[in-house]
Amino acid sequence: MCPVPQLYSSCLSVHSDDDNKSFTTTGRFESNQTRDEKYLMKCTFNAWYQLIYNIKIQFTMLQAKNEFHLKKTYFNYWKLQIHQINYNRDIEKAKLDSIEIIK
């Protein structure tokens, strides 16, 4: 047996044409089941939104981390290259100095 949804009314729509008088009260009827479904859809939407938002933040952080490590790797590589060039230059200079001393 299916439960009967209870009605929730904020106000009632009434139309009357008695004695050339008309009045209208606008409103709506909605069941508790409809409200629960709307609330559930809202909660589901918020949960998906937060999940996607967190994934985007984590992805952005991962990109920044990868970019940092890549730049750090390149920096260390070129730092070593410069040290190697200076070291080789010092060796060449030492060779030239020793040749000059011998002469």
Please check whether residue 39 lies inside any domain of the structure: yes
Task: Please indicate, yes or no, if residue 25 is contained in any of the structural domains.
Answer: yes
Place of tokens 């940092």: 68
The answer to whether position 93 is within a domain reads: yes
- Tell whether the model's pLDDT for residue 17 goes beyond 70: no
Query: Would residue 1 count as lying in a domain?
Result: no
The answer as to whether 24 is a domain residue is yes
Q: What is the pLDDT of residues 55-90, one digit of tens each?
A: 999 999 999 999 999 999 999 998 888 888 888 888
Q: Quote the CA–CA distance of 71 and 80 in Å, as a whole number.
A: 14
Q: What are the two backbone dihedrals, phi and then psi, of residue 44, each rounded to the nearest 5 degrees?
A: -65, -45
Whether the model pTM is above 0.85: no
Domain that holds residue 44: 7-102
Q: Is residue 2 part of a domain?
A: no
Domain count within the chain: 1
Residue 16 is classified by DSSP as -
What are the Cα distances from residue 48, in Å, to 3, 44, 67? 30, 6, 28
Answer whether 31's CB lies under 8 Å from 7's CB: yes
